[in-house]
Structure formats: structure tokens, C-alpha cells
Amino acid sequence: MQFELRPMLATLTDKPFDDPDWVFETKWDGFRAIAVAKPGQAALYSRNLNDISRKYPSICAALAKIKHEAVLDGELVALDEHGRSRFQLLQNAEREFARLLYCVFDLLYLDDKDLRGKTLLERKGALEKILPKSPLLLYSAHVVGEGIEAFNRAKRAHEEGVMAKLSISLYHSGMRTRDWLKVKASQEQEVVIVGFTAPRGSRKYFGALVLAVREGTGWRYVGRAGTGFDTETLRTGAVKVFVDGSIQGFTARLNWPGYHNGSPNGIWVTPPTQVPLLVERLHAAGFQLHIHTTGDEATELALDAIEQALARHPRWDHRHTLQHVQMASPAQYRRMAKLGVCANIFANHIFYWGDQHYEMTMGPDRAHRLDACASALAAGVPLGIHSDAPITPLGPLHVAWCAVNRVTPKGRVLGEREKLSVAQALHAITMGPAWTLKLDHEIGSIECGKRADFCILDEDPLEADPMRLKDLRVRGTVLSGRVFAD
């Protein structure tokens, strides 16, 4: 049986609470580790799936006494003279004496059975029965409902805090959810990052941060911090720049003739004199820019700034992207294509505010070129479409439906010539946005070497009535290779 060893992650919350549907455990100040054990043999793996068994042979020997084949989740800790877990002691355990302990709080697999679909209390019940008695192993006990008292005890004992877990929660490997919450109680100490170690294994950029505190006229090493970082969190994404506001809020910047009802022109979120300077500085530094431009005047300013930055600092494949671009003209789309600029268009706007734009903000003529997706593709502009959640509800099929049908709540069709085909719309919610994020090598399509992230529909969207596109049932979702059935 192949095991999924990525641990489930908790979400930080700011205060403790009481709830009879939740259980509360000690929050250990240690190193997360997944154990794979069977009689006579055991191994430990870090959160990043590195084999760390050699560093903790005594813990592995204790786990090898389990009389079942099992995969466990827990925390490696080092205890001080008061019996409190201290991460610094664990960091220095290779050089100093420390009492090591593996605190086990979950059971993922047992004798070829995947328990991740069982409730937390069912898994913990099975865990307590199979865990052998050992001074190196500890079953992480819990209290039911009384989170505030558990937190106060942890605070009085100078422990790190408590973990709050929904008693019926399932185990979601590799995912951070709000079914598990961490409440920190320990006092914090400011440290200085004085260096970093080289990356090892699959880690990129650096291995761990080297930390120190000021002591007299010198510095004292206090440990390293490498957990919590991965390729995703260390990667620099696009920089968001805001130029104007929204059309429905009368804060978008529009070219003549302005708003249909005579309202004054919108606002500059970033002063127009600063936009070229900001764009050039970020572009020259190698960043990708995602620039919020709703009105056509704002779009023109952003394109002027990008053109100037490219003239002074030529860069191939920058993929700067204009976000929303709701009133961009065909000429502006041709200019975007020439500059290598992408568009991520707010297609949901046609449905949620289309009638207001027809009657109040843009008027009957310009409302027909609102969110001109077909013009963007015709000009050769890489295209993504979006819902701008939470401004409108998250739902990719509804976004695609809007771009395909362009129907308002009153039944108007705004811009027949700007309709996308179903195939074009599906591309614009998958490979299109992946391209604009420079993630097309990882997501956006089902290919070898990419993440197994996709959904399964109950009908072929290319064969279904386009008006039913938003109503197609999702039968299941695959996220990082794990199947979630409807």
C-alpha cells in the first residue's frame, strides 16, 4: 500500500474558545514528523518528506515495537529540566544532551487501512490502543470542549499553547484547514537572522535561517528555523499595482465621454505621475506586475508605463498582466499584444452589473464592449477570466458561462461579437490564468510533470448546451493527486 505522508496543517487563530464539538491538545514546541512503522522496523520523515531516521535512532527503535503496520503523525520534541518542550533544545540536540520524545497525536494508516476518512476521535482511539509503552513515546491526550482552561494551563506552565481540533475532522494530507487551529500562548523572543544554510533535498533557495540574540558585546547562537518554508512560500509572485477603482462604484478612470449618467470621473488609486516610476522600478528589478485597471483611461496609463519600462529595460517573457481591463478598446488590446502584456478579464461583471452598465454607467453603446474577451483573443493577447472573489462568488464554470453567453439578469445579450466559444472559455479558466501567473509549467492542464489538480464533470462541456455550462455538476475534484468525491 502506498502511503500519503504529507502532514495535515493547522491554521493560526488569535484566541482560545470553548466548544463541545472540539478537543484541545498540547501544542508541542518541536519538529513535525510522520512515522512509518511495522514490527521490527520504523522510519521518520520530516514535513518536507525527508528521511530523518538516522538523526533519531532511539525514537525509531521505540516505534519499531508497534505490533502493527502503521503511519503516525506527531511532534519530535526535546524537554527541558521542567519537562517543557523547547525547540531550541531540539535544534542543539546533536551537540548537547536533551531528553527526546515523540509525541503522537494521530494515526493515518493501520494494517493496510486508510484511516484518514475516519473522524479524529476514531483515529485517536485506535492510536491509543496500538502505541506501546515507552519513555520515548507519548500519546498526546486531549480535553473535550474546555479550550479556554486548556489554554490558561498552557500559559501558566509557559508552554507554547494549545491545538484545537474539530472532533469529527477528517485527515486532509498536505492541506491547511480550519478544522485544526493553533492558539499560541508562549512568550516570544526577538532574534536576529545572521545567516542561512544551504538547501538540501527538494528545498530551493535556502535550507534554514540561522538565528542569534545579542549578548553583551557579541552574539549568541540560539538555533535555526527552517520549518514553515517551502518552494511555494519562498517563491516571489506577481506584484499587484492598483491604478483606478471600479465602474459600478463610479471610481474607474474613463476616457471621454465618461460616465453615462454624468457622474464625475473616478479616482487614481496610485497618482498618475507615480505609476510610470513604480512600474519601471519593479520591472527593472525583475518582478512580474499584475496591474488593476478597470477604465480605459487607466488602461492607457498602464500601457504607457509598461512601454516606457520595456524601452529602458528590455525583458523577454515578462508577462505583465492587466487585471479586469473592463473597458479596454480593440486598439488597446492590439497594443497589449505588441508589448507582450496579458489580460485577466472580470467576465462575471456582465452578469452581476451588466444591466446597470447598460442603463447607468456606460450606456447602451459602450456596454456592448464591456469585458471584450473576443477582442483580446483576436488581437493575440494571452487571456484569463475571473470572478474577482469575493466581489462576486467563486465559481469557474459560472465565469466561463458569462464569457460564453454574455447574458444579463434582464436577459440582455451584451456584445454578441465578444462571446467566447466554450473551448475558449475553458482555456481562459485553466491554461490562460496559469500562463498569466507564470505557472503554466505546473498547473492549467493535465500533463505528465504537472500537479494532479483537476475536476471531473458529469457531462462533456463541449457537448452540453452552452446555457447550461454554469449548471454542470462537478462529480469529483482531484487536488495534488487526492480524490474528493461529491
Q: How far apart are CA 282 and CA 289, in angstroms?
A: 8
Give the pLDDT score at 333.
98
Tell me, yes or no, whether 290 and 216 share the same domain: no
Cα-based distances in Å from 66 to 2, 97, 120, 198, 332: 19, 27, 20, 36, 68
Higher-confidence residue of 232 and 171: namely 171
Higher-confidence residue of 187 and 234: namely 234
Spatial CA neighbour of 16 closest among 152, 167, 178: 152
Task: Give the chain's domain count.
Answer: 3
pTM, to two decimals:
0.60
Tell me, yes or no, whether 357 and 441 share the same domain: yes
Tell me the pLDDT tens digit for each residue of 338-387.
999 999 999 999 999 999 999 999 999 999 999 999 999 999 999 999 99
Tell me, yes or no, whether 285 and 391 share the same domain: yes
Tell me, yes or no, whether 299 and 439 share the same domain: yes
Q: Is residue 439 helix, strand or coil?
A: coil
Give the pLDDT score at 94.
46
Going by pLDDT thresholds of 50, 70 and 90, the confidence category of residue 105 is very high
Tell me, yes or no, whether 178 and 194 share the same domain: no
Task: List the CATH number of the domain containing 418.
Answer: 3.20.20.140
Residue pointed to by grid coordinates 456592448: 368
> Does 481 map to a domain?
no
Going by pLDDT thresholds of 50, 70 and 90, the confidence category of residue 486 is low
Residue 197 C-alpha from the chain's centroid? 26
Tell me, yes or no, whether 116 and 205 share the same domain: no
Q: How far apart are CA 268 and CA 246, in angstroms?
A: 11
> Does 33 map to a domain?
yes
Residue 467: partners with Cβ closer than 8 Å, 6 or more residues away: 401, 405
Residue 57: partners with Cβ closer than 8 Å, 6 or more residues away: none
Give the pLDDT score at 102.
92
Q: For residue 352, which phi and psi values (nearest 5 degrees)? A: -75, -30
Going by pLDDT thresholds of 50, 70 and 90, the confidence category of residue 218 is confident
Tell me, yes or no, whether 149 and 214 share the same domain: no
Going by pLDDT thresholds of 50, 70 and 90, the confidence category of residue 299 is very high
Statement: residue 44 has pLDDT above 60: yes
Tell me, yes or no, whether 224 and 245 share the same domain: no
Residue 233 C-alpha from the chain's centroid? 9
Beta-sheet strands, E only, within 134-197: 137-139, 142-144, 161-166, 176-184, 192-196
Give the pLDDT score at 215.
74
Domain of residue 67, residue span? 9-188
> Does 455 map to a domain?
no
> Does 3 map to a domain?
no
> Does 270 map to a domain?
yes
Q: How far apart are CA 79 and CA 89, in angstroms?
A: 7
> Does 434 map to a domain?
yes
Tell me, yes or no, whether 372 and 429 share the same domain: yes
Tell me, yes or no, whether 343 and 207 share the same domain: no
Tell me, yes or no, whether 286 and 193 share the same domain: no
